[in-house]
Amino acid sequence: MSPRTPGADLPDHPDFLWRTPEPKRSYDVVIVGGGGHGLATAHYLAKNHGITNVAVLEKGWLAGGNMARNTTIIRSNYLWDESAGIYEHALKLWEGLGEELDYPILFSQRGVLNLAHSLQDVRDSVRRVEANRLNGVDAEWLDADGVKEV
């Protein structure tokens, strides 16, 4: 079986995504994994630090990791004070990324609704909502009537 050209089944994708350049003898940085985190690392190394001699190694397809397969949720509603700021900052970076890259990343902000099924779920959820609000993250607790309004 002959090797297939990456992206051959994706006719609307630009050719530059499927380059197979000859490897250089050396790189300043080698990133293993071309999923969302790996690609973001390469992008911000170039943008913020001028480091462009970078190799991104990916065994599958670019951005085909958790960003493409699982929930595809980008959120900042986490519980710990220590991480809330960085998550919120990362979320804000997504808002202008498509325009910055001049490429349709298909980022669309939506809300999320988590349901509590037990008293413990209610306690945990209220705690998370309050922790997020204290950290400046948009969060709201809805009771049954509030959910019906949504």
The two structure tokens encoding residue 115: 């349901």
Over the chain, what is the mean pLDDT? 82
- What tens digit of pLDDT does each residue of 100-122 get? 988 888 888 887 888 999 999 99
pLDDT higher than threshold 80 for residue 12: no
Q: How many CB atoms lie within 10 A of CB 67?
A: 17
Confidence at residue 36, expressed as pLDDT on a 0 to 100 scale:
84
pLDDT higher than threshold 50 for residue 2: no
| pLDDT band at residue 32 under the 50/70/90 scheme | very high
Residues 6+ positions from 81 with CB-CB distance below 8 Å: 131, 134, 135
Rounded-to-integer distance, Cα 35 and Cα 68, Å = 9
- What tens digit of pLDDT does each residue of 75-95 get? 766 677 788 778 878 888 888
pLDDT higher than threshold 60 for residue 134: yes
The two structure tokens encoding residue 103: 């490429």
- pLDDT (average), residues 35-63: 91
- pLDDT (average), residues 129-135: 87
| Residue matched to tokens 């960003």 | 67
